[in-house]
Amino acid sequence: MLSFRPQILEAVKDFGMARLVRACSLSELPEGERIVVDVEGESILVLNHEGRIYAISNICTHEDAEMVSGIVIDDTITCPVHLSRFRLDSGEVLNPPATKPLKTYKVVIREEEVFVEV
């Protein structure tokens, strides 16, 4: 079941050189769940696909469509507007019309909390 809820990230932690922003707890992101978080004006899609947590730009590089509504198959997400496909792990474009990759973010899990490195 596809569901999501927008939220504003409420915690920023400094772990050495990385700036980590809390996205959610692991319990809030079961298999297949997606959330959209806002970090300083950037919309980031955080999703759990096949037991792996990914964080990518929520905005397609082609026409500003929201990727939260995209179709996830294997390790790719398809834009819901013009059907460009991107790799979840690298943001690489797999087919047109998009030509630029999606921005990806490193995900860190600490003490059952999901953080996005920004």
Separation of alpha carbons 32 and 64, rounded Å: 23
Residues 6+ apart with CB under 8 A from 7: 24, 35, 36, 37, 38
3-class SS at 50?
A: coil
Write down all domains in the chain, each with its CATH number in brackets. 6-117 (2.102.10.10)
User: 74: which DSSP letter?
Assistant: T
Per-residue pLDDT of the chain (118 residues; tens, 9 = 90+): 344 444 444 444 555 566 899 999 999 999 999 999 998 889 999 999 999 999 999 999 999 899 999 999 999 999 999 999 999 999 999 999 999 999 999 999 999 999 999 8
Q: What is the DSSP letter of 66?
A: B
Q: Structure pTM?
A: 0.85
What are the phi and psi torsion angles at 27 (to 5°)?
-65, -20
